[in-house]
Amino acid sequence: MKIAETLEEARETLRLLKGQDRPVVGLVPTMGFIHEGHLSLVRKCRKECTVSVVSVFVNPLQFGPAEDFADYPRDMERDVALLEKENVDLLFAPSVDVMYLPDSSTMVTERKLSSVLCGAARPGHFDGVCTVVLKLYNIVEPDKMYFGEKDYQQLSIIRRMMKDLDVPVEIVGCPIIREADGLAKSSRNIYLTAEERKDACAINEALNEAENLFRDGERKTCVLEYVVLSRLLQTSAVKPEYVEVRDAVTLEKIEEITRPSVIAVAARVGKARLIDNRVLR
């Protein structure tokens, strides 16, 4: 009998006992209405994995009762065409009934990183995210999962959850993809009128201003937050929800930047709630 006292020993012994030599499987979980942001994840997955899987599932569990679950844009035909073109191996597109049994009663919750930023504004949102991401992991059993850095807090929470639960998966974060005018790609951009869309660009511009200040040596987070906020308040359509500089890993509030940090922004623009961020190192 082998005795393992660490995870590494246990996994290595089991790998030998199982004699596995299976291909690398990658999963890109999405809520569909595929745009260039998603496609950048798919392309990275295709490049790094032998089997690439994309899931399309608008997850009711991560929407609050007053949020846009019913209105969230969907276009499966277009999604299928786009993913076919990328040579994806498997599209997993379950219905809500397939994903959630009526008597389901189990939730996965991350209790620290989830309590701030979007978690404060959207109670239960990240419980829904954690639960569905773990379910998708268990269904597909990928070696790697791909997430966009636009949803920076989500990415941090998923990394934390996977580590805490010892899930043997590599979480790959991919850079934000932007429109030509700088607005971060998002399925929800479709909610914007032409006017709102113009104002929404201020979010990226404000983050640019803060990043430039940081590059010029500014380290006080209140100054950087103020710069972003005052730029946003110059628009008529953008209603900021939060502008915060936080530790890039723990998401803890900081007053002076001495380690990798992130400026995170959430704002309402017309019907849309948009988020964006900039990592500062």
Q: In the complex, which residues of this chain contact a second copy (CB under 8 A)?
A: 1-7, 10-11, 13-14, 17-20, 22-23, 25, 51, 53, 80, 83-84, 87-95, 98, 101, 103-113, 130-131, 134-135, 138-141, 160-161, 163-168, 250
- To the nearest whole angstrom, how small is the minimum distance from the Cβ of residue 120 to a second copy? 16
What is the C-alpha separation between 43 and 24, in angstroms, rounded? 15
- Burial string for 13-43 (b: 16+ CB within 10 Å, else e) reads eeeeeeeeeeeebbbbbbbbbbbebbbbbbb
Between 51 and 207, CB nearer to a second copy: 51
DSSP 197-249: HHHHHHHHHHHHHHHHHHHTT--BHHHHHHHHHHHHHTSSSEEEEEEEEEETT
Query: Phi/psi at 162 (nearest 5 deg)?
Result: -65, -40
- To the nearest whole angstrom, how small is the minimum distance from the Cβ of residue 130 to a second copy? 7
- To the nearest whole angstrom, how small is the minimum distance from the Cβ of residue 107 to a second copy? 5
Query: Phi/psi at 274 (nearest 5 deg)?
Result: -110, 145
Q: Can you read off the two tokens belonging to residue 61?
A: 């569990």
What is the C-alpha separation between 42 and 56, in angstroms, rounded? 12
- Identify which of 118, 40, 58 has the alpha carbon closest to the alpha carbon of residue 277: 118
Between 72 and 126, CB nearer to a second copy: 126
What is the C-alpha separation between 271 and 274, in angstroms, rounded? 10
- To the nearest whole angstrom, how small is the minimum distance from the Cβ of residue 68 to a second copy? 24
Between 81 and 121, CB nearer to a second copy: 81
What is the C-alpha separation between 97 and 101, in angstroms, rounded? 6
Between 5 and 216, CB nearer to a second copy: 5
Between 7 and 233, CB nearer to a second copy: 7
- To the nearest whole angstrom, how small is the minimum distance from the Cβ of residue 198 to a second copy? 37
Of 25, 27, 37, 38, the active-site residue reads: 38
The span from the first CA to the last CA of the chain, in angstroms, equals 48
38 is catalytic: yes
DSSP 177: P
Catalytic residues: 38
